[in-house]
Structure 1
Amino acid sequence: MLRKILFAIGLSFVVLTLHAQTFNILDYGAKNDTNILSTNAFNKAIDACNKMGGGRVIVPAGIYKSGTIYLKSNVDLHFEQGATLYASVDSKDFPGPVKTFYNSYQDLYGWFSLIFAEGASNISITGFGIIDGNGNRQHRDAKTFPKGVRDGRPRNLLFISCKNVTVEGVSLTHAGFWNQHYYDCEDVMVNNIKVFNHGSKNNDGLDIDGCRRFVLSNSIIDSDDDGVVIKSSGTGASEDITVTNCIVSSFANAIKCGTESTGGFQNINISNCVIKPSRSTSKPAFKTPRHGITGISLEMVDGGIMNGVSINNMLIQGTDCALYVRLGTRNRKHAPDAPDPANGQMRNVQLSNILAYNTGNYSSSITGVPDARIENIYLSNIRIFNQGDLKPGEYIPDMEKVKESENGYPQPTVWGNLPCYGLFVRHVKDIDIINCTLKSEQPDPRPAVIAVDVDNLVVDRLQTDKTNSRKVLIMKEVKKSKVN
């Protein structure tokens, strides 16, 4: 089925490219000059292309300054080699929509962007150029924001409720806010892009929000904030999402589902990715560690259901925490007039063939809360090597002192160094830990695994440090277990 979807999407753009007319922005008044706005030229070329039934809008080599560009149906915005789209820093050049068709928690941050589309079909951004959001200069005065909006900084790309979307080949840098936000979109292919997003705070690399049938592949993403984020900040689920063959770096969380989870997640497949420290020399905007907080995070804290997640064949280097899986009950509403969400659910999650090395001492964790348990989670062929070398007083001394933090922001920094060095499991039903290795590169006095309030725990072929003085596995309130 996925192959048919990809073929249909690809075929639509092959036909569009081979037979469509071209529209050069220079013919509509664009200027290769960062002192002159070319916003009108971009939008006139796109309008003309759209009115003629579609085609390709050419951005030739040069640097073009612009405010919001409105991409329309059946238009391919194509950047030739040497072309750079450079964002204006004047807030008046980014009017944003007054109201979107689809409402969510993100309404609070406004809908400002350098390239915007809503309700469009068969749109693409292709080529070899650069989209530069000029993020380190995108400062906004809160007094100028529309009523109810907390922030006015623009994203580089914002596509809302669009269908048949392709983004391929371009580089996207230094957004004022998130780099790319795909929101309530269908049939999206993002392939072979480069993202370097270190221009401002909240600089996520790419956000997939309430989308259906989305493929991110063969890309390099380096961001100040979270790298690749799958969200559901409105009522629609993110479902049938594939992330594969990517290199992701982040000062925060490299690959993450959440925190917004209202609509839920269904059929999430993440594979064949490398997670490593950022190459940026800039100072992290939020005082996060340069090597990143987590490699992989799955977070359900605002209601919704996560069902069917497969994460396979991953390499993680140097983050404070390799794996963070959290079901909480923050239960934040997605809109002011929305009902309070019910507790979320998380089930049917598989993590396999993961190597994490030189990670920090936070310990990986899989935790629900007393009123919301994680169900059916399977870990296999996972190798985690943390730094170790902790002394008493540098970690939480025992499991009873690990606070629940049901309503808090989901992140391992809430706890710090847990009382085990490998894996902390709490409030879980049905978990298998098969053929896994948990070791410290330097001696660590903590046990490898702690399990608290678990129904049906299976541990088979667990390899741990033999030099630690404490037990390998400590269990409390575990109703059924099988340890080999």
Structure 2
Amino acid sequence: MWLRSSESMKFSDIFAAGVLGLLVMSFGCDEAAAAVHSITDYGAVSDTTQLSTEAVQQAIDACSAAGGGTVTVPSGSYKIGSIFLKSNVTLNLENGSTLYGSTDISDYTPVTTDYVSLRTHTPTIQLIYADKADNIAITGEGTIDGRGKAFPKLSWNDEGITRPHLLRFICCNGVKVSGVTLKNSGCWMQHYLACDKVRIDGITVINRNNYNNDALDLDGCHDVTVSNMIADSDDDAITLKSTSPRLCEDIVISNCVVSSHCNAIKLGTETNGGFRNIIIRGIAVKPSSDQSSQYFGYPGGIGHGAIVLEIVDGGVMSNIDIGDVTIRGTESPIFIRLADRARPYSPDVPVNGVGKMERICLHDIMIDEAGPTGSSITGLEGHPVCDVELRNIRIRHHGGQSVTPAPDDEKRAEYPESTMWGILPAKGFWLNHTRNITFDNVTVETIAPDERETYVATDSENLIIR
């Protein structure tokens, strides 16, 4: 029925009403999406003499049951044991907030996963854990302090068993960790195992209170970006591993400042699946301001190695690009090692054959205040390291060494470490069992006179020095 003009609505009015309705709906959706679950609403108290584990977990569970959202940690100090992140949940720590890990091991929940890797054969404990979760995040300006010094080392391989990880995420898709400060884990600070689409940005890591105090461990992960991290660790700092058949692949790490009493940038030691398409850019490596290491550390307080690339448990390393790095204070700046430790990730899956290393480029690197050991690129007889380019690299170290013979023991199956042979026969690079290695504009300067040659090469075909 047609309405009289006085009873009808103009098209412009209808359009305006529709737009207003959409805006209301939009704001309503935004408000719903922005709804948060504060841990204090579930009973968490800012008191480190009381345990708030249950309250934090209830907030996470309620957030997950509502379809996801944010669990917020207000300013204050809260003590927790093991908590479990769930899909579509963001744990946001407000400025001034700290989650403290309990120092009582009974407050940690042992968990198992069906993902088989070197370190998942037994139940493990961790402060914050997720398994097969999607779209999870830890964000904010607060701190998570594991107080890991409370857990003594009881055996050779007890990390994650009697000494908790601070973060451990397994088989997760869509992981974000940003802004927060992570401190004092019982072992590795953050272990991402077989995860995809991981974004780590703007975090601070201080891990100097126990054995195996790595800053970051990416293990068999795909599609990862790490940026703007400041890390000070007693053990390895930026660490890529492959403790299962799943390789580390398509990873970009950039704009980080790291200190380590062990290795600053390391691919290895575990290498079962290998590494492919790794880009590392814009890293500053410096000595830690804390030289009181009780756990690792080369004499004098500097790290063992700065750039350490290893294949020792099978696997293939290829398409590795590391550049724009400055290094101050390390004993053996560059260590590239192909060997045959052959440690399996599972007892029923032996490592068959030596792995491969090829297509590696290290470039635009400045190294200063290094120890006198020297750098090395070494493979095994019949298994050479191949196709490595080192370009625009300047090294200055203490020097002061006399002529040193080349090692006569290949140490085929030993744990790989840049200082494993002691002082090397070259003040620059010792090469053994290599093919197609190119040095282009690489200079080596020693503070004290050094009698060693800059390069010493054995069984190294097609060596090019420009």
Tell me, yes or no, whether TM beats 0.5: yes
**Structure 2 residue 350 is matched with structure 1 residue 354:** no
Distance 1:379 1:141, change over 3 A: closer
Contact kept, 8 Å, 2:297 with 2:304, in 1: the verdict is no
Contact kept, 8 Å, 2:125 with 2:160, in 1: the verdict is no
**Structure 2 residue 440 is matched with structure 1 residue 430:** no
Looking at structure 1, the residues matched to 171 and 197 of structure 2 have their Cα atoms a distance apart, in angstroms, of 11
2:283 to 268, 273, 280: 273
Looking at structure 2, the residues matched to 380 and 172 of structure 1 have their Cα atoms a distance apart, in angstroms, of 35
Residue 70 of structure 2 corresponds to 56
1:136 to 146, 149, 153: 149
| Aligned partner of residue 50 in structure 1, secondary structure | helix
Residue 468 of structure 1 corresponds to none
Contact kept, 8 Å, 1:259 with 1:300, in 2: the verdict is yes
| Aligned partner of residue 47 in structure 1, secondary structure | helix
1:263 to 251, 268, 273: 273
Contact kept, 8 Å, 2:231 with 2:237, in 1: the verdict is yes
Contact kept, 8 Å, 2:434 with 2:460, in 1: the verdict is yes
Residue 405 of structure 2 corresponds to 398
Please, which moves more after superposition, 88-97 or 105-114?
105-114
Residue 12 of structure 1 corresponds to none
Aligned-partner residue type, residue 118 of structure 2: Y
Cα shift at 1:229: 0.5
**Structure 2 residue 131 is matched with structure 1 residue 118:** yes
Contact kept, 8 Å, 1:109 with 1:149, in 2: the verdict is no
Aligned-partner residue type, residue 366 of structure 1: I
Residue 8 of structure 2 corresponds to none
Gaps of 5+ in 2: 1-28
1:78-128 deviation line (CA, Å, top 9, x unaligned): 00001001001111211221x212111112675211110000001000000
| Aligned partner of residue 50 in structure 2, secondary structure | strand
**Structure 2 residue 104 is matched with structure 1 residue 90:** yes
Residue 454 of structure 1 corresponds to 460
Residue 444 of structure 1 corresponds to 450
1:309 to 313, 320, 324: 320
Distance 1:109 1:229, change over 3 A: farther
Cα shift at 1:351: 0.4
Please, which moves more after superposition, 301-310 or 110-119?
110-119
Please, which moves more after superposition, 338-347 or 37-46?
338-347
1:296-339 deviation line (CA, Å, top 9, x unaligned): 10011000011110001100101001100101110111111212
Residues 10-49 of structure 1: pairs in structure 2 closer than 5 A: 19-49=33-63
**Structure 2 residue 118 is matched with structure 1 residue 105:** yes
Looking at structure 1, the residues matched to 33 and 342 of structure 2 have their Cα atoms a distance apart, in angstroms, of 50
Residue 127 of structure 1 corresponds to 140
| Aligned partner of residue 411 in structure 2, secondary structure | coil
Contact kept, 8 Å, 1:366 with 1:424, in 2: the verdict is yes
Looking at structure 2, the residues matched to 427 and 110 of structure 1 have their Cα atoms a distance apart, in angstroms, of 41
Distance 1:22 1:149, change over 3 A: closer
Residue 6 of structure 2 corresponds to none
Contact kept, 8 Å, 1:108 with 1:149, in 2: the verdict is no
Looking at structure 2, the residues matched to 202 and 442 of structure 1 have their Cα atoms a distance apart, in angstroms, of 34
Cα shift at 1:282: 2.8
Looking at structure 1, the residues matched to 141 and 122 of structure 2 have their Cα atoms a distance apart, in angstroms, of 30
| Aligned partner of residue 334 in structure 1, secondary structure | coil
Looking at structure 2, the residues matched to 136 and 313 of structure 1 have their Cα atoms a distance apart, in angstroms, of 35
* Larger gyration radius, structure 1 or structure 2: 2
1:238 to 224, 230, 248: 248
Distance 1:124 1:150, change over 3 A: closer
Gaps of 5+ in 1: 1-14, 461-484
Looking at structure 2, the residues matched to 149 and 249 of structure 1 have their Cα atoms a distance apart, in angstroms, of 21
1:425-451 deviation line (CA, Å, top 9, x unaligned): 111111111111112111001111011
| Aligned partner of residue 53 in structure 1, secondary structure | coil
1:71 to 56, 76, 85: 85
Contact kept, 8 Å, 2:160 with 2:187, in 1: the verdict is no
Aligned-partner residue type, residue 131 of structure 1: I
**Structure 2 residue 203 is matched with structure 1 residue 193:** yes
| Seq. identity, % | 42
Contact kept, 8 Å, 2:193 with 2:218, in 1: the verdict is yes
Looking at structure 2, the residues matched to 398 and 452 of structure 1 have their Cα atoms a distance apart, in angstroms, of 12
Residue 224 of structure 2 corresponds to 214
Aligned-partner residue type, residue 299 of structure 1: E
For normalisation by structure 1, the TM-score amounts to 0.87
